[in-house]
Structure 1
Amino acid sequence: MDVLADALAVMRVGTSTSARTEARAPWGLRFPAVEGASFHVVLQGTCWLIPKGAGRAPLPLTSGDIVFLRDGSAHGLADDPATPLTVVAPSRQDPSSPIGQVRVDGPGARTMLLCGTYRLGNARPHPLLCELPDIVHLPARPGRHGELHAMTGLLGAELDERRPGRDGVVPALVDAMLLYILRAWVDDRSAEEARRRTEAGRGPAGWAVALTDPAIGRALEGIHADPARPWTVEELGTRGGLSRSVFAQRFTSVVGASPLAYLTWWRMTIAGRLLRESDAPLSAVAQRVGYSSEFAFAKAFKREYGLAPGRYRRGATR
Structure 2
Amino acid sequence: MTTPAPGPGPAPAHASLDGLAMGDAFGDGWFTRSDELPEKRLAAREPRPAPWEWTDDSAMAFVLFAHLGAHGEVRPDGLAREFAAEYARDPGRKYGPSMHSVLRRIGEGEDWRTVTTEQFGGQGSFGNGAAMRVAPLGAWFGTDLPGAVEQARLSALTTHAHPEAVAGAVAVAVAGALAACGRGQQAPQRAEFLREAASYTPESDVRSRLLVAAHLPAHTSVRHAASVLGSGKQISALDTVPFALWSAAGHLDDLTETLWQTVAGWGDRDTTCAIAGGIVAARTGTAGLPADWRTAREEIPDWSGWEPTGGSGA
Task: Please say whether Structure 1 and Structure 2 have the same fold, judged by a TM-score greater than 0.5.
Answer: no
Which has a greater percent of helix?
2
Place the TM-score, normalised by the shorter chain, in its bin.
under 0.3
Structure with the larger RCO, 1 or 2 (CA within 8 Å, 6+ apart):
2
Could you state the TM-score of these two structures normalised by the residue count of structure 2? 0.28
